[in-house]
Structure 1
Amino acid sequence: MRNTKTLVAGIAGVSMLLLAGCSQGGTSGASTTPAAAPATSTTPVAAAPAPFDKPGVKIAIVQQSGQGDYFQQYLNGTKKQAAALGVDLSVYDAQGDNATQATQLDQAIASGVSGIIVRHGFPDTLCPGVNKALKAGIKVVIYDIEIQKCAPDAVQTQQSDAKMASLVLDQMVSDIGTGKNVGYVNVAGIAPLDRRDKVWRDYVQKENWKQLFYTGTFTNSTATDTAPMVSNALRANPDVAAIYAPYDELSKATLSALEQNPNLKGKVKVYGADISTADIELMTAADSPWVATGATDPNAIGAAVMRTLALDMAGTITKGATVDFPPILITQDFLRSKNIRNMVDLRAAEPSLNISDISSADWIPVVTF
């Protein structure tokens, strides 16, 4: 296992690299991932409907933050599917600033786009702009924001977060049993994390777990900023059998915190969410406490959300519809037994991660990874 300084430095280095790659606005031609996942696309068997029957369709993605493995992969999938559709994609990245995201949404509306993806953020910040876009005739697809109460005509997309949480927590029950002391690393107010939180609370009660601490923060450097919070919580509450950290940046923070508490080596199991090549490396490392994660392929999710917007723009999705993307359970034992070292290996072992059948049509060149 890498020592504390190595892991913390590695997380910080990745954060700086990814932050440097984020853009406040741009086109689909600019890459923001150091090593973008390869993609192939199917050949359409039908003619594209309007507005995709002519070149020059303009679409924007307005994201709350582009930092972190998950978000980088998501944007890569969005770009690849946009390129396959032949659309002009502009990327806006608020870098974790909610007011900036609202401003960028207004900028996207003013830029003359026909469709907008709004990815993560907060309803109070985004609802005025979303409704403004819809009123202007711009199709809007939301990803992981609880916005339909204030913007009911927007199409909602999301991972099946309740399923994701239950898959991992079922594994946690199997591993540690009932009536144990546990820790919790999460952040309130973020739609997917709130949905996972609801499941967590149910399991804590049902399994008679005693939650000794709850900590975490969401910033543009979540892993590095959360690690000392978790470390302090562990020093005050060392008697935990497991920690649930349902976002991979929070999972990384938890691993770093455990390395800062060597007296807990081999005593605490970590259960997370999301997956990337970096996550796979951390899960399969010698003596790693990260034993299970619930995940989708972020590249495939980004592509599927882009397809959902295309279908909405073509008039084939019911106004205000919700589209869910199913997760799978990925365990440390599975990764090691299959000698899975990266996302390419994982996709080969779990082809269902491609979700190519979701939000597809005979006129769409569906991107797979």
Structure 2
Amino acid sequence: MKKLCSILLIILLFTLTACKSEQDAVSTQQQQTATKETTSKQETSQTEIPKQVQKPLKVALIMQMSIGTFSSQYIEGVKKQIEQFGGSVQVYNSDNDLAKMAANLDAAINAKVDGILIDHGRSEALKQGVEKALQANIPVVAFDNDLRLPGVTVIDQDDYSLAWKSLKTLAEDLNGKGNIAVVWVGGFAPMEHRSVIIDAFYKRYPNIKEVARFGTASNNTALDTQAQVEALLKKYPKKGELNAIFAAWDEFAKGAVKALEQAGRTDIKVYGIDLSNEDLQLMQKSNSPWVATAATDPAEVGKVQVRFLYQKIAREHTPDIYSLEPHLVKKSNLPTENVAMEQLSKYINGWGNSKDAYSPWMNKLEKEKK
């Protein structure tokens, strides 16, 4: 009898275990099916073009000023990305007049555009207009601006990093000792950020002395800078009195380079910020004093800014602030033959390959609008 009971107990245990295993298998299969269905729905929703961006969108680009080749390549980047998305853009150039920039912003709002891009400018001049845009449900993305409003994404080139990369290279080339001049101008958010690093730079390298600081932003910035550097060279005519010039903007660097070339001062080197095709040509010239610059691809900046705007219009989450990764471009890294900006990725790791702010559906949108 005991033996029979034991046998029956074992059979019962096997039956219960088998049932439990079958239930677990069914449960696991159901979970896997549900997960696959959820993942499939998520993938579909991520690649499906949001209805808000399916129509051709009208975008306004409000610029504080449009000076030099950096700005022109930035504008081309904005235009190219918007055209790839099937939209159109109107560029408002404010000629470095903040009152005019505020008026241009109002004009864009009154034109009932679908989105607004802002290039430079100051918060005190634009805050009221941007708030008006947001109240009208017009999303805003700004570049190199000090706006800090909920819902507005502000992108920059990481101006602190730009300044440090260039200045650190200068210090290393001078072996931590020498006299330098700084070409800089206030009144612009990126310049104020770069100034913070300039001040910190002297604490890190106390044996590097600033003997002059100057700079103006105008419609002829490069020419103005050339004249200012020519006057500077008369103050320091002897080799060793001035070792380098740090130019906080490529328009400054272009003017400094031309002044040094005309004076035959190969003993003074230029370290800059920003880069364009014209800048590259100057750097690649034989015996060019322009030996290094820290930069992001201006066209890529424009494209990233547009993509953030389209994400906002599609009601996707976007950050309040975003910094693009800058690169150090040294003359010694470039080939002897001339290269253009679009070829720099062959020589500068990571250049021009940004997928920042790129949503999966954007690829489909670009293909459909071809």
Residue type at the aligned position of 2:324? F
Select the residue among 247, 255, 261 that pairs with 1:253: 255
Q: Which residue of 1 aligns with 2:225?
A: 226
1:49 equivalenced with 2:50 (yes/no): yes
- Cα distance, 1:50 vs. partner? 3.2
- Cα distance, 1:340 vs. partner? 4.6
Say if 2:171 and 2:177, in contact at 8 Å, map to a contact too: no
Say if 1:216 and 1:230, in contact at 8 Å, map to a contact too: no
Q: Which region of structure 1 is more displaced relative to structure 2, 348-357 or 251-260?
A: 348-357
Q: Which residue of 2 aligns with 1:243?
A: 245
Distance of 1:311 and 1:224 partners within structure 2 = 40
Q: Which residue of 1 aligns with 2:7?
A: none
Query: After the TM superposition, which residues 313-328 of structure 1 pair with which residues of structure 2 at under 5 Å, given as runs?
Result: 313-318=313-318, 321-328=320-327
Query: After the TM superposition, which residues 1-369 of structure 1 pair with which residues of structure 2 at under 5 Å, given as runs?
Result: 46-53=47-54, 55-148=55-148, 151-208=149-206, 209-238=208-237, 239-262=241-264, 265-318=265-318, 321-336=320-335, 339-350=337-348, 352-365=350-363
The one-character-per-residue Cα deviations of 1:105-125 (angstroms, maximum 9, x if unpaired) are 111010011210010122222
Q: Secondary structure at the match of 1:271?
A: strand
Q: Which residue of 1 aligns with 2:42?
A: none
- Cα distance, 1:310 vs. partner? 0.8
Distance of 1:104 and 1:195 partners within structure 2 = 26
Task: Find the structure with the greater CA-based Rg.
Answer: 2
Say if 1:213 and 1:237, in contact at 8 Å, map to a contact too: no
Q: Unaligned 5+ residue runs, structure 2?
A: 1-44
Residue type at the aligned position of 1:216? G
Say if 1:223 and 1:250, in contact at 8 Å, map to a contact too: yes
Distance of 2:342 and 2:324 partners within structure 1 = 20
Distance of 1:267 and 1:336 partners within structure 2 = 22
Residue type at the aligned position of 2:49? A
Distance of 1:146 and 1:200 partners within structure 2 = 19
Distance of 1:101 and 1:45 partners within structure 2 = 37
Distance of 2:97 and 2:348 partners within structure 1 = 35
Distance of 1:48 and 1:225 partners within structure 2 = 49
* CA gap 1:240/1:160 in 2 versus in 1, 3 angstroms: same
- Cα distance, 1:336 vs. partner? 3.2
Q: Which residue of 1 aligns with 2:32?
A: none
Distance of 1:351 and 1:77 partners within structure 2 = 20
Q: Secondary structure at the match of 1:177?
A: coil
* CA gap 1:252/1:119 in 2 versus in 1, 3 angstroms: same
The one-character-per-residue Cα deviations of 1:261-318 (angstroms, maximum 9, x if unpaired) are 33xx121110001111111110111111000000111111111110011112212124
Which of the two has greater helix per residue?
Answer: 2
Residue type at the aligned position of 1:352? G
Q: Unaligned 5+ residue runs, structure 1?
A: 1-43
Residue type at the aligned position of 1:183? A
Q: Secondary structure at the match of 1:137?
A: coil
CA RMSD of aligned residues (A): 1.9
Q: Which region of structure 1 is more displaced relative to structure 2, 101-110 or 352-361?
A: 352-361
Residue type at the aligned position of 1:107? A
Say if 1:186 and 1:216, in contact at 8 Å, map to a contact too: yes
- Cα distance, 1:220 vs. partner? 2.3
Say if 1:185 and 1:230, in contact at 8 Å, map to a contact too: no
Runs of 4+ in 1 over 4 A off after TM superposition: none
- Cα distance, 1:178 vs. partner? 1.8
Residue type at the aligned position of 1:133? A
Say if 2:178 and 2:209, in contact at 8 Å, map to a contact too: yes
Distance of 1:172 and 1:120 partners within structure 2 = 27
Distance of 2:194 and 2:338 partners within structure 1 = 27
Residue type at the aligned position of 1:93? N
The one-character-per-residue Cα deviations of 1:111-161 (angstroms, maximum 9, x if unpaired) are 01121001012222212211111122110111001111xx34311111111
The one-character-per-residue Cα deviations of 1:238-281 (angstroms, maximum 9, x if unpaired) are 4211110021101001112223433xx12111000111111111
Say if 1:215 and 1:230, in contact at 8 Å, map to a contact too: no
Q: Which region of structure 1 is more displaced relative to structure 2, 286-295 or 123-132?
A: 123-132
Residue type at the aligned position of 1:141? V
